[in-house]
Structure 1
Amino acid sequence: MTVASGVLAVNNDLPIRTHLPVHSGKVRSVYWLTQADSARLIEEKGYPVPSDTELAIMVISDRISAFDCIWKGEGDLRGVPGKGAALNAISNHWFKLFKEQGLADSHILDIPHPFVWIVQKAKPVMIEAICRSYITGSMWRAYEKGERDFCGIQLPEGLTRDSKLDELLMTPSTKGILKGIEGVPEADDVNITRENIVNNYQAFNFKSIDDVALYEKLLKEGFDVISSALAELDQIFVDTKFEFGYVKDKDGNDKLIYMDEVGTPDSSRIWDGPAYREGKVVENSKEGFRQLLLSHFPDPDILLNKERMDERTALANDNELPVEVLMQVSKTYTDIAEKITGQKIVLSDDPKAEIIKVLKDQYQLID
């Protein structure tokens, strides 16, 4: 058994009964179940949703993306061993903590396998909700060039790289391309202000103006819950991205929930506390991989400059990274997951076969 055979690189070809084409993102694939299977599972499993709710199987992969490209390794290593299981385990942990502490639910109804969630269909809020507790990354690069206005928030002079900010900053950007909103460019992932959101809350899929304040409250509370828990492990929660959406509760009422993933090494920066106190930044997140790529290739501008996307895509397609690089990333992900959850991340020999077996035997979703 090779390392590569235990990696789930392709996750959009499972023989699950669906009624729509499989939607495959950078890391996850979504299988929309038939109306009959959705209704059957809701009844059999007692999921707390209306009987006509659309359900989906969400399958994570071990693929690794950075700078909007998927990267691969030598020896046909098409992902990072343990990455998918680590991401799901961390998200599951935080979603559970949010619910226990009375913040909000998530879209997850069931976890049949470490790579798999059963979710209810959510209507996403069209905002990448980003929180920052330290100035680093793209914000520092912009600040260093003289920028002081971030999403309508004015930063003071004299900040230093990787330093803690006086308060938690919410710096939202668009999720997808939104059209016809004054002052908001028609492009994906552009920074927006609170005023943009309040003045056009319906265009961002908010059900009411009050829900803008609710999303901000859940954003801050979610950040604080994760930050406090990580501090107990002597880890620093630097910044993160949250996503929100609406689902129906058992009585058919709309409720705002957390969705996608939360507090993972893919969506957040997590720094080692002891190293930071010694003046060093040790990344326990994907940022370490990004920095490695920037130093690995001779022209880092290809990775940072959006106008060189064709060159960047070619770079990812034409280069196989050393196996030890991806194994180091594997260690970063599994170590932080085990630290957060207190549970061992078990690497599978054949995750796809395991997923098919459990969805066939226990959920009757495969013929």
Structure 2
Amino acid sequence: MSSYKVLDVNDDLPIRTKGAVHSGKVRSVYWLTDQDSARLIEEKGYDVPTGTELAIMVISDRISAFDCIWQGENGLNGVPGKGIALNSVAAHWFKLFDEAGLAGNHIVDIPHPYVWIVRKASTVRVEAIARQYITGSMWRDYSKGVREFCGINLPEGLSAHQKLDEVLITPSTKGIIRGLPDVPEVDDVNITRRNITDNLDAFNFKSETDVALYEKLLSEGFALISKELAQLDQIFVDTKFEFGYVEDKDGTERLIYIDEVGTPDSSRIWDGPAYRDGKIVENSKEGFRQLLINNVPDSDVLLNKDRMSEREQLAASYKLPESVMMSVSDTYVGIASKIVGKQLTIPQSPRDEVIAVLDKEYGLIDA
């Protein structure tokens, strides 16, 4: 077995909840009982309405790519420090967003580096994506002759990894949107601004004004992170934000940032010196995708959507070398430490620590 402790299973903690635990690829969400939500709001003085539903969101060290979860040799079923890296980076950017007067976010407390307490939000069904460089899937399509992306026309003559004249907003669907003539019924499909404004209810927007607001918040958030990363000689290439509505104490609804922002999982971050030298060094999950492509027996299984069942079988049986998992750990912990301005410490026993703090300081663990 590996000597590294990772939090690979995060949906079986003995947290008192109402309903089932929602387990995603990386995070698990435990919705608290109404009594516990009300108690914590009063005890901790959270700045939310009295009846607000709260949840414990526990991040794992699992790593997903190409819509699958991947594991390492010797029982290393996650990337050491990855969860802390993501949470620390997102919380850092959220703090700077608050200081800059941008929208708030869904985090009301951070009991432990692996844990957020979040408030319930009504999720906008748009993955808000901003791109400053042409790379990845956009470049692959462009190189095949595609020139229109989400209703935006790109000029001829662009080259791979080139900086674009302006930051492009290229939204996609969050979940499967049904019944819209111009939107395929699949998750994460590109859409245009017109698709959204013509179908506000389907995308859970309250008004067309809020569509403009999400674009403003995406652009301003992107610009802030890009400027901060530039001071570290890192390049903010592209990113995905998510938004939702919450109710304030006075009853007004407000659009806020939810999920995570500016992390190595939700963004591409390139090393500045390497880029100027004509090389791409990824300080984000994109580097892990490239490692997978280079390590698996048949990379077409990863890239070909028609081979999804084979891909799932491969992910379930294939074990990456421990050295690969540790190099990914170095990438995540390294860039996160740069961003937050201090070296992150990887806990010896994350699961035990999380349970202990939620028990002693929050009274949420069932005996």
TM-score range, shorter chain: over 0.9
| Distance (Å, rounded) in 2 between the aligned partners of 1:273 and 1:176 | 34
Mapped pair 1:283 → 2:316: no
Q: Which residue of structure 2 aligns with residue 316 of structure 1?
A: 315
Mapped pair 1:350 → 2:331: no
Q: Which residue of structure 2 aligns with residue 49 of structure 1?
A: 48
Summarize the alignment of residues 147-226 of structure 1 with structure 2, pairs less than 5 Å apart. Answer: 147-226=146-225
**Residue 299 (structure 1) shift:** 2.1
**Residue 181 (structure 1) shift:** 1.5
| Distance (Å, rounded) in 1 between the aligned partners of 2:185 and 2:158 | 32
**Residue 171 (structure 1) shift:** 0.5
Aligned residue identity for 1:280? K
Aligned residue identity for 1:220? S
Q: Which residue of structure 1 aligns with residue 101 of structure 2?
A: 102
| Distance (Å, rounded) in 2 between the aligned partners of 1:32 and 1:115 | 16
**Residue 186 (structure 1) shift:** 1.2
Q: Which residue of structure 2 aligns with residue 123 of structure 1?
A: 122
| Distance (Å, rounded) in 1 between the aligned partners of 2:3 and 2:88 | 21
Aligned residue identity for 1:111? I
| Distance (Å, rounded) in 2 between the aligned partners of 1:170 and 1:209 | 16
Residue by residue over 1:202-255, the C-alpha shift from the partner in whole angstroms, topping out at 9 and shown as x without a partner, is 210011111000000000000000000000000000000000001111222111
| Distance (Å, rounded) in 1 between the aligned partners of 2:118 and 2:71 | 29
SS at match of 1:204: coil
| Distance (Å, rounded) in 1 between the aligned partners of 2:23 and 2:14 | 15
SS at match of 1:48: coil
**What stretches of structure 1 of length at least 5 have no aligned partner?**
none
SS at match of 2:254: strand
| Distance (Å, rounded) in 1 between the aligned partners of 2:260 and 2:48 | 21
Q: Which residue of structure 1 aligns with residue 337 of structure 2?
A: 338
Q: Which residue of structure 2 aligns with residue 3 of structure 1?
A: 3
CA contact (8 A) 2:32 2:55 kept: yes
Q: Which residue of structure 1 aligns with residue 269 of structure 2?
A: 270
CA contact (8 A) 2:172 2:190 kept: yes
Aligned residue identity for 1:3? S
**Residue 256 (structure 1) shift:** 0.4
CA contact (8 A) 2:236 2:270 kept: yes
**Residue 154 (structure 1) shift:** 0.5
Runs (4+) of structure 1 exceeding 6 A deviation are none
Q: Which residue of structure 2 aligns with residue 244 of structure 1?
A: 243
SS at match of 1:156: coil
**What stretches of structure 2 of length at least 5 have no aligned partner?**
none
Aligned residue identity for 2:78? G
Q: Which moved more, 1:200-209 or 1:317-326?
A: 200-209
SS at match of 1:7: coil
| Distance (Å, rounded) in 2 between the aligned partners of 1:306 and 1:30 | 29
| Distance (Å, rounded) in 1 between the aligned partners of 2:218 and 2:346 | 32
CA contact (8 A) 1:49 1:251 kept: no
**Residue 12 (structure 1) shift:** 0.2
Residue by residue over 1:176-202, the C-alpha shift from the partner in whole angstroms, topping out at 9 and shown as x without a partner, is 011112211111111000000111112
| Distance (Å, rounded) in 2 between the aligned partners of 1:53 and 1:252 | 12
Mapped pair 1:28 → 2:24: no
SS at match of 1:168: strand
Aligned residue identity for 2:6? V
| Distance (Å, rounded) in 1 between the aligned partners of 2:193 and 2:140 | 22
SS at match of 1:59: strand
CA contact (8 A) 2:2 2:75 kept: no
Aligned residue identity for 2:165? D
Q: Which residue of structure 2 aligns with residue 59 of structure 1?
A: 58
| Distance (Å, rounded) in 1 between the aligned partners of 2:133 and 2:40 | 44
| Distance (Å, rounded) in 2 between the aligned partners of 1:342 and 1:149 | 40
CA contact (8 A) 2:89 2:263 kept: yes
| Distance (Å, rounded) in 1 between the aligned partners of 2:120 and 2:227 | 31
| Distance (Å, rounded) in 2 between the aligned partners of 1:159 and 1:265 | 26
Q: Which residue of structure 2 aligns with residue 137 of structure 1?
A: 136
| Distance (Å, rounded) in 2 between the aligned partners of 1:223 and 1:179 | 30
| Distance (Å, rounded) in 2 between the aligned partners of 1:143 and 1:298 | 28
Q: Which residue of structure 2 aligns with residue 74 of structure 1?
A: 73
CA contact (8 A) 2:123 2:244 kept: yes
Question: What RMSD, in angstroms, separates the aligned Cα atoms of the two structures?
Answer: 0.9
Residue by residue over 1:87-144, the C-alpha shift from the partner in whole angstroms, topping out at 9 and shown as x without a partner, is 0000000001001100110100000000000000011100011110000000000001
**Residue 2 (structure 1) shift:** 4.6
**Residue 25 (structure 1) shift:** 0.3
| Distance (Å, rounded) in 1 between the aligned partners of 2:2 and 2:283 | 26
| Distance (Å, rounded) in 2 between the aligned partners of 1:186 and 1:256 | 26
**Residue 354 (structure 1) shift:** 0.4
How many pairs does the alignment contain? Answer: 366
| Distance (Å, rounded) in 1 between the aligned partners of 2:207 and 2:360 | 43
